[in-house]
């Protein structure tokens, strides 16, 4: 009986000791790994992206000039493409680390998980949108303008009141739509600027309202044939501007916004605007 009792006690002690060692090893391993991971995550912003080490940036499909030249954001040509690479560099990413993808405008600012880190396609910063996504500081403050047909009945419009009887179109949810509603209450809405341009080109509407840069490009590129920018809407410069969109509560928001602020402070944004946008924003009459 004595032998049996000692045998059992030794066996029990061995089991307890082994269990304690295993638990200690597991806890030590877990804490060490977690601490290293946390340390890495907190100290290296490039490892907090959807693809660690890469920065996935989304834009429209297609992406229009002068925001993106030739629908090729990877070229870095066009105002938004250039801004995206400048922001990426400030955040510690090389140009080769940037991965481009495409999304629609609406899905980008809808609530929910995203498979990209940032999205840039002329998103106006609004309080309503901030409920679903994050924004950086503004990288451009655009105004709104109006396009009509050169041979149409509103070609000689000199004021917003001259357009009160026109059939006006705008992209739903945009600053253009907001200002179109100030001209008249019943505005025809479209899902994107390309659809609005097609409607004006086909004489389904008399005028369209969208960002000044986009208006000038639509006319220059003949998206709307025989058209003209009749003028810029007075007082329509957006004080909140356009911001880069990030998923809600993204770990990158602070760094991305800081990057935009630095590009503003050091004059880079102004230089890029002078290079890519100057010809789209000057010599337009104001409509009051």
Do 112 and 149 fall into the same domain?
no
Strand boundaries in the chain, DSSP class E = 55-59, 98-102, 118-119, 133-140, 144-149, 168-171, 188-190, 207-211, 227-233, 242-247, 286-287
> Cβ(190)–Cβ(199) under 8 Å?
yes
Mean model confidence pLDDT for the chain: 87
**pLDDT per residue as tens digits for the range 132-167:** 999 999 999 999 999 999 999 999 999 999 999 999
Structure tokens at 268: 């880079």
Do 199 and 131 fall into the same domain?
no
DSSP annotation of 73 reads G
Do 228 and 247 fall into the same domain?
no
Does a structural domain hold residue 128?
yes
- Rounded to an integer, the average pLDDT of 76-105 is 97
Which residues form the domain of 131? 47-141+240-283
Do 136 and 246 fall into the same domain?
yes
Does a structural domain hold residue 194?
yes
- Rounded to an integer, the average pLDDT of 155-181 is 95
**pLDDT per residue as tens digits for the range 114-130:** 999 999 999 999 999 99
Do 151 and 201 fall into the same domain?
yes
Beta bridge partners of 57: 100, 118
**pLDDT per residue as tens digits for the range 47-89:** 999 999 999 999 999 998 999 999 999 999 999 999 999 999 9
Do 210 and 184 fall into the same domain?
yes
Angle of CA points 153, 285, 163, to nearest 5°: 30
Does a structural domain hold residue 39?
no
> Cβ(143)–Cβ(215) under 8 Å?
no
Structure tokens at 186: 């019943």
Does a structural domain hold residue 41?
no
Do 252 and 271 fall into the same domain?
yes
Do 252 and 214 fall into the same domain?
no
pTM of the model: 0.73
Do 262 and 188 fall into the same domain?
no
Do 157 and 179 fall into the same domain?
yes
Do 51 and 183 fall into the same domain?
no
CATH number at residue 185: 3.40.190.10
Name, in order, each residue with C-beta under 8 angstroms of 118's C-beta and a sequence gap of 6 or more: 55, 56, 57, 58, 84, 87, 244, 245, 246, 252, 256
Structure tokens at 228: 């003209």
Select from 193, 218, 233 the last residue of a domain: 233
- Rounded to an integer, the average pLDDT of 91-115 is 96
Do 157 and 223 fall into the same domain?
yes
Instruction: State the pLDDT at residue 42.
Output: 60
Whether residue 66 has a cis bond before it, omega within 30° of 0: yes
Does a structural domain hold residue 160?
yes
């Amino acid at each position: 009986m004595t032998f049996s009792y000692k045998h059992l006690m030794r066996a029990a002690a061995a089991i307890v000791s082994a269990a304690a060692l295993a638990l200690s090893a597991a806890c030590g391993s877990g804490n060490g790994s977690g601490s290293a991971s946390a340390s890495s995550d907190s100290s290296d912003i490039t490892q907090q992206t959807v693809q660690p080490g890469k920065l996935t940036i989304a834009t429209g499909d297609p992406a229009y000039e002068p925001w993106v030249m030739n629908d090729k954001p990877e070229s870095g040509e066009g105002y938004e493409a250039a801004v995206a690479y400048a922001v990426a560099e400030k955040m510690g990413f090389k140009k080769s680390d940037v991965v481009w993808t495409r999304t629609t405008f609406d899905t980008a600012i809808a609530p929910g998980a995203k498979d990209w880190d940032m999205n840039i396609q002329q998103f106006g910063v609004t309080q309503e949108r901030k409920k679903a996504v994050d924004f950086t500081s503004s990288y451009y403050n655009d105004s709104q303008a109006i396009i009509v047909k050169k041979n149409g009945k509103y070609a000689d419009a000199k004021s917003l009141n001259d357009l009160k009887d026109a059939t006006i179109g705008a992209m739903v949810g945009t600053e253009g739509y907001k200002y179109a509603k100030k001209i008249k209450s019943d505005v025809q809405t479209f899902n994107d600027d390309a659809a609005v341009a097609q409607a004006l080109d086909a004489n389904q509407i008399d005028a369209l309202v969208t960002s000044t840069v986009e208006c000038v490009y639509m006319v220059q590129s003949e998206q709307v044939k025989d058209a003209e920018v009749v003028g810029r809407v007075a007082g329509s410069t957006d004080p909140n501007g356009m911001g880069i969109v990030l998923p809600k509560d993204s770990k990158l928001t602070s760094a991305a916004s800081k990057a935009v602020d630095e590009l503003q402070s050091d004059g880079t944004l102004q230089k890029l605007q002078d290079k890519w946008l100057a010809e789209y924003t000057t010599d337009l009459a104001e409509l009051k």
